[in-house]
Amino acid sequence: MRDLKQTGFTDRISAQQDAKKALLAKFKPKTAAPDPEFEKLAEKRAAEKEALRQEHELAKAEQRREKAEKEAVRLAEEMAAQEAIDADKRAARKERKQLSKEEQKAARDARYAARKARQR
């Protein structure tokens, strides 16, 4: 059976090119119609994102506040402990001074007694 349509070489080539173009056109991205809800959804997402950001910011602020409170308590305890240590040191120093004063008085009394004994 011969070519009944009597098509020439150029007709077949152009038909092939048209078919190829049609096939490639299927894979090209089509322009999408804009979704009418897109703007509303974008605003809703933005609002949710902002709310979430504020929530995280509040949580971080709360954590910072708690950390600052704990640090203040720790510093107060540390200062109280240091003051107690200082008070103990002062008491020990006063006691040593008192003992040294008593020892000095005893030595002075001994010298006085020795002087009185020599005079007699």
Prediction pTM value: 0.44
The range of the structural domain enclosing residue 102 comes to 9-119
- Residue 4 within any structural domain of the chain: no
> Please, what's the b/e burial string for 62-73 (b: 16 or more CB within 10 A of its CB; e: otherwise)?
eeeeeeeeeeee
- Split into its structural domains, the chain has a count of 1
- Residue 77 within any structural domain of the chain: yes
Please name the residue that has the structure tokens 């349509």: 5
- Residue 3 within any structural domain of the chain: no
- Residue 115 within any structural domain of the chain: yes
- Residue 2 within any structural domain of the chain: no
Average pLDDT over residues 5-20: 87
User: In this predicted model, what pLDDT tens digit does every residue of 53-112 receive, in sequence order?
Assistant: 999 999 999 999 999 999 999 999 999 999 999 999 999 999 988 888 888 899 899 999
- Residue 13 within any structural domain of the chain: yes
Cα–Cα dist 81/87, whole Å: 10
- Residue 1 within any structural domain of the chain: no
